[in-house]
Structure 1
Amino acid sequence: MINNKKKIKDNTKLVKFDEALELVRSEVDNSLSASPLIIRGYTKHLTESKGKFIRAVSVLICAEDKDGLIHPNAIKVAASIEILHLATLVHDDVIDNADLRRGDVTLQKKYGRKTAVICGDYLFCVALNLATNITDKEDYLDVDMPNYMGKICLGELNQHLNNGNLNLSMYQYLKIISGKTAALFEASFFAGAIFAGCKEAECKKYKQLGHYIGMIFQLIDDCIDFENTVDEAKKPVQSDYEQGVITLPLIKAFEDVSDLKEKASSDQMTREDINEAVAKAGGLSFTHRLVKKYHSKSMKIIRELELTENKKANLIEILNKASHLS
């Protein structure tokens, strides 16, 4: 159950969004740059390429009270979630043997896979330490960061176990990305709602909204592998299947193009075959239609929430960015 007692003490300094986001960036940079000397060179490399901080931004927007102010504990957890996300990217790059991330060389490419794995593990520890280093911890136990970390790991493992699975269903795939990607968005929105002092029913709506936006984010990423160039994506493209990852556009193609599975099972399927089959089956338009469904469900929740006009506009902006509508 959500603890609805008053969480904000009279002497706690609340901050506006812009200041809060700068504090999150500083918290992340300080956590990485203050790493033990043995690992500091590796974590410093990660600070040189900045992400969009969309998950941290989500925490902060959801954590705003009716006056647009944010509790400092939300800043700590937002930084924790951003470092947790960074840890998953480091591990993803090892699994995918990726050379490029955020337009820069990956940790595993520059320093080796074993070093990158250990650094990713270290970042998980940093994230968990930050999340537990907040005041009045007993008021925020419902955020349950270790549980969300477990969901992410299980989602990644589920994807790995289904690498090359030509019979992967849409239902199975959506379950994979529900853990692999959507869980961290869900945690971001849920944590923000708790820090804002929302009641249990409202917290559940924020949580569901985060889930939908996380699903959108991954489905759009699936399309980027087909639709964008390396320069646009700032990471490898036309490479998911080559890494064994079966995404929704290709699942649709396997269902609709009769000889595609036969080509794939006999290792005769080329990238040209994949692109032609996805185009023939309408795999990308199918995936974009699903994104629109999640977008509509998200908008329904946003309309149901009691929000200031500014907070509503900011939530819609996050939704549209995830959907590539802005």
Structure 2
Amino acid sequence: MINDKTKVNDNIQLIKFDDALEMVKKESDTVLAKSPLIIRGYTKHLMASRGKYIRAMSVIICAEDKNGLIHPNAVKIAAAIEILHLATLVHDDVIDNADLRRGDVTLQKKYGKRTAVICGDYLLCTALNLAGSISDKQDYLDLDMPDYMGKVCLGELNQHINNSNLNLSVYQYLKIISGKTAALFEASFHAGAIFSDCDKSECRKYKQLGYLVGMIFQLTDDCIDFEDTTESAKKPVQSDYEQGVITLPLIQALKNIKGFSEKAASSGISRAEINEAVSKAGGLNFTHMVVKKYYNKALKIINDIEVSDNKKEKLMTLLNKASRVN
């Protein structure tokens, strides 16, 4: 490993991309595996199903300097963001009463809701502790992790308050997902930009890019609820409305099909009726169109940022992963 690092001074060694990403996975796994004994069984259950590490990967890619090397502090922040994301998933599964996550039984299904909520809270604290363990903290004050965590929580609360709100507007919905999903992507891109030592103007571009990627990621996920199977998505699908979550494809149907909203409010609507209405109203086409708008804005930012061709290619990979472009 030492040969794959470039020495900067007596204390800090910059890291190559592949090594940095592997270190993030090891760091997050180590933190979970070394949890206090009382909670370790639960954190080990979570370790059994790894995600795609797309947020951690965002930090590492954005943290690359002009030589393609990464500061070790970026590894800790990336791991912290990954654990924070895991905490939100644990809480989401409790709220949604979900049985599956990443193809495995959820914590709340296996151990109960109370245990899952407390474990999620523990993970939030762990993420903050890990983020606070980086060296030279004064250099990274612009990255306000608690503020981003607050945005995620407020986004989730805003969604909960609007559960089963059949009059939810497009603007209101985009506001909800800008907190519950896009904020953590923005934090990831922002963190990486700070570690890459770019100027404030460039840093703002990375933040905006992260926000756009997060919006794309959530809107694409909304379409998955209608377009994928449980087996391919590795989580429950055809279930957002049943959990009270009103997403953009359904908003289009409620807004544009005469009498549909009234029927939903008075006697309820079946999944078959939802699918038919969304198809008739072009809800999925509309959502994909909004994704395309965000995609084009993100593409423009990537082309405006002064980075190497290699880093630009990696940023494009993130963008395409979020939008499920092959």
After TM superposition, is the score higher than 0.5? yes
Number of the residue aligned with 2:281 = 281
Residue 35 of structure 2 is matched in structure 1 by 35
Match of 1:4 in 2: none
Superposed CA RMSD in Å reads 0.8
Alignment match, 1:185 = 185
Whether 2:156 is the aligned partner of 1:156: answer yes
> Equivalent residue for 2:212?
212
SS in 2 for 1:197: coil
Question: C-alpha distance in 2, partners of 1:11/1:305?
Answer: 30
Rounded to whole Å, the distance in 1 between the matches of 2:269 and 2:49 is 35
Deviations 1:103-154, CA, capped at 9 Å, x for gaps: 0000000000000000000000000000010000000011100000000000
> What aligned pairs does 1:250-269 form with structure 2 within 5 A after superposition?
250-269=250-269
1:1-326 aligned within 5 A? 11-326=11-326
Q: Which amino acid aligns with 1:268?
A: G
SS in 2 for 1:83: helix
CA distance in 2, matches of 1:165, 1:39: 37
Cα 1:13–1:264 shift into 2, 3 Å: same
Shift of 1:266: 1.4
Amino acid at match of 1:218: Q
| Residue identity opposite 2:189 in structure 1 | F
Deviation digits for residues 49-77 of structure 1 (CA, Å, limit 9, x no counterpart): 01000000000000000110000000000
Structure 1 residue runs of 5 or longer lacking an equivalent are: 1-7
Please give the per-residue CA displacement for 1:216-251, whole angstroms capped at 9, x wherever unaligned. 000000000000000010000000000000000000
2:156 corresponds to which letter in structure 1?
E
Distance 1:237 1:259 in 2: 26
SS of equivalent residue, structure 1 residue 14: strand
Cα distance in 1 for partners of 2:141, 2:39 equals: 31
Q: Identify which range, 113-122 or 258-267, moves more after superposition.
A: 258-267
- Whole-angstrom CA distance in 1 between matches of 2:251 and 2:9: 52
2: distance between equivalents of 1:114 and 1:75? 31
For residue 15 of structure 1, give the secondary structure of its aligned residue in structure 2: strand
1:259 CA displacement: 1.4
CA distance in 1, matches of 2:263, 2:122: 41
Paired residue type of 1:100: L
CA distance in 2, matches of 1:64, 1:244: 41
Q: TM-score under structure 1 normalisation?
A: 0.97
d(CA) in 2 for partners of 1:300, 1:196 = 20
Of the structure 1 ranges 233-242 and 266-275, higher mean CA displacement relative to structure 2 is found in 266-275
Deviation of 1:9 after TM superposition, in Å, equals 5.4
Residue segments in structure 2 that go unaligned for 5+ positions in a row: 1-7
For 1:224 and 1:309, locate their aligned partners in 2 and report how far apart those are by CA, in whole Å: 31
Q: Residue type of the partner of 1:166?
A: L
* Residue type of the alignment partner of 1:234: K
1:315 aligned counterpart, secondary structure: helix
C-alpha separation in 1, matches of 2:149 and 2:267: 35
Query: What secondary structure, in the 3-state scheme, does the structure 2 residue paired with 1:245 have?
Result: coil
Counterparts of 2:32 and 2:258 in 1: how far apart (Å)? 50
2:3 aligns with none
| Alpha-carbon shift at residue 10 of structure 1 (Å) | 6.0
After superposition, the C-alpha distances for 1:244-300 in whole angstroms (9 at most, x for unaligned) are: 000000000011111111111013311111000000000000000110110000000
Structure 2: how far apart are the matches of 1:307 and 1:156? 34
What amino acid is the match of 1:135? S
How many matched pairs? Answer: 319
TM-score normalized by structure 2?
A: 0.97
The share of aligned pairs that are identical, in percent, is: 71
Residues 61-103 of structure 1 show CA distances to partners (whole Å, capped at 9, x for unaligned) of 0000011000000000000000000000000000000000000
Amino acid at match of 1:107: L
For 1:49 and 1:288, the matched residues in 2 are separated by 29
Distance 1:189 1:177 in 2: 17
Q: Which residue identity does 1:298 align to in structure 2?
A: A
Distance 1:139 1:239 in 2: 44
